[in-house]
Amino acid sequence: MPQALTFEKKNILVTGGAGFIGSFLCESLLRDGHHVICVDNFATSLVQNIETLLQNQNFRFIRLDVNEPFDLERLPELADFKLPFQGIQEIYHLACPTSIKKFDQFKIQTLLSNSIGNYYVLELAKKFRAKILLTSSSVVYGARQSHEKAVVETEQGTMDHLSPRGCYDEGKRFAETMFETYRQVHGIDIRIARIFRTYGPRMPLSDGQLVPDFILSALDEKPLVLNGGKEFRSSLCYVADVVDGLTRIMKAKEYPGPVNLGSDVDLSLEDVAKRIIEMTNSTSQMVEGENFAFLSELALPNINRAKELGWFPLVRLEDGLRRTVEYLKANKILLTSL
């Protein structure tokens, strides 16, 4: 077999690159000196997330929907990346709508992203023999069980595939099946990251997300709404740690199978809200909220497989919350006027 060509700068495609995690991933890849092609349709993301990257000569943004056929080689804005000659070396596939309060609005798009969108992106990987990583989710393990220990990657979760959120939960399971099938049939070098609940700057505001909405309410001296109830529990992993995990999984010499990325520290929603109130010196109170379909208690991750790749969440909750508070303070007027 002929040896693959190597290039000084890799051409790396990030689908969903203008989203919360995707934008931080693009920044990380640019710092490593690569050419980054960011595609997004802004369904649940913002151009503000990538504004500082648009002037970078190694960054190109293409607005498109991966659920529709696309041909990157024909785009004049990518001419400098020489795709017909160099191709694409790596693909990070993050494109999938994620919204708590608007979940019903994006159900069909979610269904398509977890099927047709995967097909188009996997075909691109097959064409260029690119290494491709899927950002899957902890939802593949199903809802948290009261007796459950941290879940390992070999465990098979159970879920109601006909539930109101089945298009996402079962969709992510099918997405993993598609990626594994392409590996078996076409020999594609795939990677699967199962991401657990993540927080940090650039999370959507007023969308039912826990941390940013708590902070915004605390800054405005408004009640902190505990959607899911005071007994709701979750782990929280800072976005920079998750991005570090994604790049480590991509760089691994051999594919170890799906890898859990998240914090294995169990937290109560009430405790997180109290910390934010104290951190912002707010007089806000806590009140019970709604139970949204897209907001559910999920299992805690066993992260031993990630540790074998040299990964461990380094950012303490206090430090991550502080960075997120500082970001919202600095950008509050802009973000709340969008």
Catalytic site residue from 168, 182, 199, 238: 168
Is 287 domain-assigned? no
Residues forming a β-bridge with 11:
35
Q: Count up the domains in the chain and report the number.
A: 1
Is position 276 within any domain?
Answer: no
Q: What pLDDT score was predicted for residue 215? A: 95
Nearest-angstrom CA–CA distance, 35 and 53: 12
Domain that holds residue 162: 11-202+237-264+295-314
Is the CB of residue 173 less than 8 Å from the CB of residue 137? no
Closest Cα to residue 78, out of 90, 65, 62, 64? 62
Q: Residue 338, SS3?
A: coil
What pLDDT shows up at residue 168? 92
For residues 21 and 45, the answer to whether their CB atoms sit within 8 Å is no
Task: Give me the pLDDT at residue 291, please.
Answer: 67
**For residue 207, is it within any domain?**
no
Q: Which two tokens stand for residue 260?
A: 């859990």
pTM: 0.94
Is 66 part of any domain?
A: yes
168 is a catalytic site residue: yes
What's the confidence (pLDDT) of residue 302?
96
Q: Is residue 273 part of a domain?
A: no
Element (H or E) spanning 248, and its range? helix 239-251
* Strands in the chain per DSSP E: 11-15, 35-40, 59-63, 90-93, 131-137, 190-195, 198-199, 224-226, 233-234, 237-238, 259-261, 267-268, 286-288
**For residues 92 and 126, what is the distance between their CA atoms, to the nearest angstrom?**
14
Does residue 38 lie within any of the structural domains?
Answer: yes
Are the beta carbons of 174 and 115 closer than 8 angstroms?
yes
Which one, of 19, 20, 22, 8, lies nearest residue 58 by Cα? 8
**How far, in Å, CA of 263 to CA of 307, rounded?**
12
One pLDDT digit (tens) per residue for the chain, 338 residues: 445 667 889 999 999 999 999 999 999 999 999 999 999 999 999 999 999 999 999 999 999 999 999 999 999 999 999 999 999 999 999 999 988 888 889 999 999 999 999 999 999 999 999 999 999 999 999 877 766 679 999 998 888 898 888 999 999 999 999 999 999 999 999 999 999 999 999 998 888 788 999 999 999 999 998 887 777 888 999 999 999 999 999 999 999 999 999 999 999 989 999 999 999 999 999 998 776 655 677 789 999 999 999 999 999 999 999 999 999 998 876 666 55
Question: Which CATH number covers residue 21?
Answer: 3.40.50.720
pLDDT computed for residue 26 by the predictor:
98
Q: Is residue 88 part of a domain?
A: yes
**Any idea which residue has 């260029």 for tokens?**
128
Question: Which SS3 state, helix, strand or coil, does residue 298 take?
Answer: strand
Asked, for residue 229, whether it belongs to a domain, the answer is no
